[in-house]
Amino acid sequence: MAAVIPAHERECAVCTNDFTTPKILPCGHLLCRQCVISWMDSKSDAGCPLCTCPIVEHQGNSSQIAADVVDALPTDSVLEAIVESASILVKDGMCTVCEDLKAEYICIQCLEKMCPSCRKIHKKMVATRSHDVESVSTVTPERLAASRPALCADHVTEKADFFCVDHNLVICTPCFSNKHRECLDVKSLDEKMKSAEDALGLLREKLLKAEDNLKQALHNLNVRVQTADVTEQQNMALVDKTCDRLQSMVDECRKQVKKLISDSVSNFKKSLCDFKSELDKRLGKVTSHKHLVTRATTVRPRLALIHAAKTLTDRVNSLDLSDDLEAEPWVNPSLEITIYCDDVVKEIGDELMSINREIVVVEVRIDEIKKPAEKSLMLGVTSVLPIQLPVLSLHLKDYIFLREDGVCDKDTVVSFHSYSCERILSVGATGRVKKEK
């Protein structure tokens, strides 16, 4: 049973009417012949209105007439037949014979619509009793298109029994015997139909395989995109964590360096304060004794002056009148700060190096994979370790598997960058992996 095509698939995307001479664009979309011509005339560089793929390859000939370009495109004859059958089903719902009664049936072979009475007559007539008559409400355009007889290209009322390959026409038996008797390649219509079905079956298998391969390739790409996203998040978190550690180290370094400076200055200032306190004491003693001497020389009592001179002389001679103390010298901490900062810088450098160790980015690029007959395939770059990669390509006859130690494929030579691999992995493989220097 023929698959039923939804009604909207019989409509042109441009004019929204049922297709008229549906043309197959290079991208696989369909448009009416006249719609393609109008679309191309309206734009200098017209592409498919559904996907923007070019309708015609540029060949430097800008004077091409749109109608000629469109006529060179293949016509979807199957859809054309379905659309024609659909129009037959919806057109004029009256009985073809009675003309005044509603048609409830249609003959699949002769396409006549009939009321119940005419149907009975149709099934009794010798010429039509073998015809398939079905209810108009249940028959589909696909069923009608599949069951309609092929008619001769020259005698449109005659059933075609042959196909002239030389002229690409279906012909009836009289045409085969007369007009096409000298044609070199004429086949029976059934034989040509079988050949076409076989060819389309192989084509369908080829497209299904290509579709599966492309879907798998897209799946692999999506997996790698997801892996890249996860890796990005992990690496970002690692960078944030490391930078937080670095910031803590810098903050601690700032704190320690400031403490070194503060302690050094504090110790030096304490030494100066002690020195100042001692000098203040000496100054106080000197000032007090100066006052005593001044008073004695000013008053000058005769006997007391003699005693004062001796007493004060002994006292002043016992005083420490020096203005020099051996204060603790100030030690500039710049050298210690430099050494400490150098140690911190080295530690920061070690932390940064740890990022490079933890964020493993191995660039694995297969430069060229050579197959027999010098066919080659250039592959891309990935930041994923080889052991984590899925099948890298589905375009070669033998799949290529990247493994922990590299890649191996029959009759191939594979080169890597930034990844050392050199031993053959699978038993019986004749390929070798070249180790990059």
Please give the helix or strand (H or E) that residue 24 lies within, else none. strand 22-24
Q: What tens digit of pLDDT does each residue of 400-436 get?
A: 444 333 444 444 434 433 333 333 233 333 333 333 3
- Residue-level pLDDT at 204: 92
Domains in the chain: boundaries: 7-147, 209-358
**Cβ burial 280-308 (10 Å sphere, 16+ → b, else e):** eeeeeeeeeeeeeeeebeeeeeeeeeeeb
Q: Is 197 exposed, middle or buried (0-12, 13-18, 19+ CB in 10 A)?
A: exposed
Strands 30-32 and 22-24 come out as antiparallel
- Residue-level pLDDT at 222: 83
Tell me the three state secondary structure of residue 212: helix
Say which range, 103-112, 215-224, 308-317, 353-362, has the weakest mean pLDDT.
353-362
Share of the chain above pLDDT 90, in %: 22
CATH 3.40.50.410 for domain 7-147, yes or no, is no
- Residue-level pLDDT at 155: 86
DSSP 20: S
User: pTM higher than 0.75, yes or no?
Assistant: no
